[in-house]
A and B are shown apart, each in its own frame.
Chain A
Amino acid sequence: MRAPLHRWRGQHERDGIRPPPPRSGAHGRGAQAVTRARHDAGVLLHVERASLAFGGVKALSDISFDVRKHEIRAIIGPNGAGKSSLLNLINGVYTPASGAIHYRGQVRARMHPHEAARLGIARTFQSLALFKGMSVLDNIMTGRTLKMRTGLLAQALRVGPAAREEIAHRKVVERIIDFLEIQAYRRKPVGTLPYGLQKRVDLGRALALEPELLLLDEPMAGMNLEEKQDMCRFILDVNEEFGTTIVLIEHDMGVVMDISDRVVVLDYGRKIGDGTPEEVRASADVINAYLGLAHGAAHAAPVS
């Protein structure tokens, strides 16, 4: 039976007999992209027994999982499961009370967010966190700050190297703007844009860092079908063209099943599932915790 979770595809309904093909079929990019993720088994990020508590509330307990290079890893779970906290842990906004985060094989005792950015970890936020006082162009240009090297005096005089640097980075940002299709809004203050466009600017700002690891916190929250398709397309393009490893938090199960390589499931700060989308979907624990017992009974049999 075709799982009703794939309704996000819109017009392209599959017939109910064959299971939906892997995402390469949906986007016509061929098998190479899929095989790249599967074969490149180097581990980029390894979360080892991480725990986090705020006062008396345990946000995360003993979480362990890894993220391989070039893969798309989804983190799912009910609200309050600790997903955003986990992302904050990975990019240094919070420090684990116990356990460690290994990135590119190295452990750091305490990592500040700007150090994480320097290492190539970028993220978007659930609540956007855009710089409301600046335009779209400037917001994305702030993402290039790390790469801009000229000193204060050179910037003040704005001759030669400083001017050239500004233009070089402007070119990169314009490419990102083209990619995200927000050219018409580049000079508008971000606060005046509709929510969906603001989310794209947030993504653009993260992309401007040219990250190795991209953390996306509910990139499709509050979007309609078309916007979700666009966002999925952007995420997949980023992963396939630049090889960026992506960890995303998402509630839409259809999206998760379709675009992610592997999934981690959290519930009340604990990991209750870890594996490919099919494995996770069939797992009784996940079904009970996330989808509810009644649902679990109906879908207990794995799909083909």
Chain B
Amino acid sequence: MLYRENGQFKTSYDADQQLLPIAQDRWFVIALAAASFVLVPLAAGDYALRALIIPFLILTIAAIGLNILVGYCGQISLGSAGFMGVGAYVAYNLTVRVPQLNFLVTLVLSGGAAAFVGMVFGLPSLRIKGLYLAVATLAAQFFLDWAFVRVPWFTADSTSGSVSTNPIVLLGWSIERPVDKYLLVLGLLCVLTLAAKNLTRSHIGRAWMATRDMDVAAEVIGVRPVVAKLSAFAVSSFYAGVAGALWGFVHLGSWEPAAFEVSMSLNLLFMIIIGGLGSMVGSYFGAAFFVILPLLLNRVPEMIGIDVSTAMKSHMEAMIFGGLIVFFLAVEPHGLARLWAIGKEKLRIWPFPH
């Protein structure tokens, strides 16, 4: 009744191919954008912004990147946190050595550096397929872990690899308050989401999906595996690098190499599996889930009245994550995004059952 396409006929390819063909979707997204940019800064407290929303936004950027590689292009990657680290450390290096550089330029350069490293470690994907590729990306992860600690150049000569950053100053706007950080990250996320969506809709995105679905057939119709796979690694690592820089500068402030360990890679993988592989919206859902679950685990026992130790909470978190991965893979392999799509379908025919 509310969510119908009646009367919305498309008379040009342009209109047919737009991002949000259904008018109601457009309204929804505009409302969401308005709420995010205007309402949330007014309503949300500093704690919510700092502990929940900003990490959620940054992790979404990383999740989108990983989804491009794993969900759209079908290459396993267990090393995404390493590429985040590259972005973070390169950004740090740039701000220390070239402090007058605009922070956005720094971000792009760190993303570029991460993209380069990603392509290098993505080269094995041309030869190694499927499960064995997991080893290649783990090699990237562990090697980068080591490099961050041991190679002094990365950390601008800090011995333990731990660094700390000053607040970002962007064209005179000093980004110190959580609200400022929130707006910066939100803006970046919007731009990056749009870019990713455009990429997946165009010929490179189709090349990725063709490589994922049947790489031999993809090659036969002219998709060059080198181009498809390496571009997926490059774009994915770019996103990871930008997310890593933001994670370090905006969320953590100061960090050590352990912030970008293999557990973060596995968490990102968890996010996109639960959220939905091969889906932009799924990356959002997965990141949101990942951020909200510990919060629930923290609050629910108190509300029920059981006393649970912190260690036990993290164990339960691990158990629930693990159980949910299996649950989603068994029940709804396309994750929360598919549930969302089903919900929308039901809404389209509401109030009729089918």
A132 touches B199 (CB 8 A): no
User: What is the count of residue pairs linking A and B with beta-carbon distances less than 8 angstroms?
Assistant: 111
Residues of A within 8 A of B216 (CB): 93, 113, 129
For residue B219, CB closer than 8 A to chain A, the reply is yes
Contacts of B196 in A (CB 8 A): 156
Is A251 interfacial (CB 8 A cutoff)? no
- Asked if A143 is at the interface (CB within 8 A of a chain B CB), the reply is yes
CA distance A116 to B218 in the complex (A): 12
Q: Which residues of B from 172 to 208 have beta carbons under 8 Å from A?
A: 195-196, 198-199, 201-207
Known contacts A93-B216, A170-B13; decide if A131 and B222 are in contact (CB<8 Å).
no
Count residues on chain A whose CB falls below 8 Å from chain B CBs: 43
Give the residues in chain A near B206, CB-CB below 8 Å: 134, 138, 141-142, 145
Measured in the bound complex, the distance between the Cα atoms of B223 and A143 in whole Å is 9
Q: Counting CB contacts under 8 A, is B209 at the interface?
A: yes
B114 within 8 Å of A by Cβ? Answer: no
Indicate whether A167 sits within 8 Å of B17 (C-beta atoms), given known contacts A114-B223, A155-B203. yes
Contact of B219 among A113, A148, A169 (CB under 8 A): A113
Q: Which chain A residues lie closer than 8 Å to B198 at the CB level?
A: 155-158, 162
Measured between beta carbons, the chain B residues less than 8 angstroms from A144 are: 203
Q: Chain B at the A interface: mostly helix, strand, loop or mixed?
A: helix
Q: A129, B199: Cβ atoms under 8 Å?
A: no
- Give chain B nearest CB distance to A213 CB in angstroms: 13
Q: Which residues of B contact A158 (CB under 8 A)?
A: 198, 201-202
11 additional contacts (CB under 8 A) given A141-B203, A142-B221, A166-B202: A112-B219, A114-B223, A116-B220, A117-B220, A117-B222, A123-B220, A129-B216, A132-B213, A144-B203, A162-B202, A166-B203
**Closest 3 pairs between A and B when the two form their complex, measured CB to CB:** A117-B222, A146-B222, A129-B217
Seen from chain B, the residues whose Cβ lies within 8 Å of a Cβ on chain A are: 13-14, 17, 195-196, 198-199, 201-207, 209-210, 212-214, 216-225, 231, 235, 278
> Can you show 25 pairs from A to B with CB atoms below 8 A apart?
A114-B219, A114-B225, A117-B220, A129-B220, A132-B214, A133-B209, A133-B212, A134-B210, A141-B203, A145-B207, A148-B203, A150-B202, A150-B203, A155-B202, A155-B203, A156-B195, A156-B196, A158-B201, A162-B198, A166-B203, A167-B14, A167-B17, A170-B17, A206-B221, A209-B221
